Structure 1
Amino acid sequence: MTVTLDHTIIHASNPQATATFLTELLGLPPHRQLGHFTIVRVGATSLDLLETQEEIASRHFAFLVSEPEFDAIFARIEARNLPYWADPFHLEPGRINHWDDGRGVYFDDPDGHNLEVLTRSYGSGGLQAEHVNPLLRR
């Protein structure tokens, strides 16, 4: 049997709003309700949104997409005037990165989770890439 990630639980102050944000921005199928979870399908994995009134600790979620998907998602980010960054620490506002000779961008969901859309997995370009992933330089 191949091991795959089936689901992960994400706390949200308004799961319906977060699910709509994710499905619309990423171009995913509509979310569904399963008991107290609001389910967003991302390929074979689901993001199971769970409502909480507690303070939400920001987590990071990265989505690997094709070049055309990146174009469409980035256009929706810009159309919504969402702040975006080239880096996970939000030090390079209004820019995308080209790590591993692909493209990547970071933005926040309504609860402050740090979302990333990238066209090449970290380190996939190796040290031969024109734009070496900074993690490989450490």
Structure 2
Amino acid sequence: MTCTFNHTIVAARDRETSARFFREILEASEAPSWGPFTNVVLDGGVMIQFADLPEDAYPEIQNQHYAFLVDDALFDRALGRIREHGLDHWADPQRTRPGETNTEHGGRGVYFLDPAGHYLEMITQPYL
């Protein structure tokens, strides 16, 4: 069997809110949830499991970066929803080009934050 990416657990302040955000913005599919996880699944079967961090154990979420390869049509729809909701977005990870997208690597890209403060990136062409 080859090695493929199957799932990850993403820390959340409110796992239901984070899962809903991914379903709405990125058109992720709802997946069966259990225990401390609220799950969504991306095309290809990769599952993202959102888990609330216990406030007494970890008062702050360590922000992570998650990049998503999307087609042009989903990019347009998702960017439209980001703008419709008035969410901040940037053309660069340093957040020096607010309200813009980029055309690097032969495609388009944009950076934005999820409800827990994780850095999300959408690109239409892979870096490699």
Instruction: Work out whether the TM-score is over 0.5.
Output: yes
In structure 1, runs of 5+ residues without a counterpart are: 125-138
1:1-138 matches, cutoff 5 A = 1-43=1-43, 44-52=45-53, 53=55, 54=58, 55-122=60-127, 124=128
- Counting matched residue pairs gives 123
TM-superposition CA deviations, 1:42-78 (whole Å, max 9, x none): 1221111111122101100001000111111111111
| Contact 1:15/1:51, CA 8 A, preserved across alignment | yes
Task: Report the Cα distance in structure 2 between the residues aligned to 1:109 and 1:28, rounded to whole angstroms.
Answer: 14
Identity, % of aligned positions: 39
TM-score for both structures, normalised by structure 1? 0.85
Q: Give the distance between the partners of 1:32 and 1:90, measured in 2 at CA.
A: 35
**In the TM superposition, what whole-angstrom CA distance separates every residue of 1:77-129 from its partner, at most 9, and x where no partner exists?**
1111110000112121111000112100000001110001110111x4xxxxx
Mark the runs of 5 or more structure 2 residues left unpaired by the alignment: none
If asked which structure has higher relative contact order (CA below 8 Å, sep 6+), I would say 2
The TM-score, its normalising length taken from structure 2, stands at 0.91
Cα-Cα RMSD: 1.1
Computing the radius of gyration from Cα coordinates, the structure with the larger value is: 1
Structure 2 counterpart SS, 1:74: helix
Inter-partner Cα distance in structure 2 for 1:22 and 1:108? 11
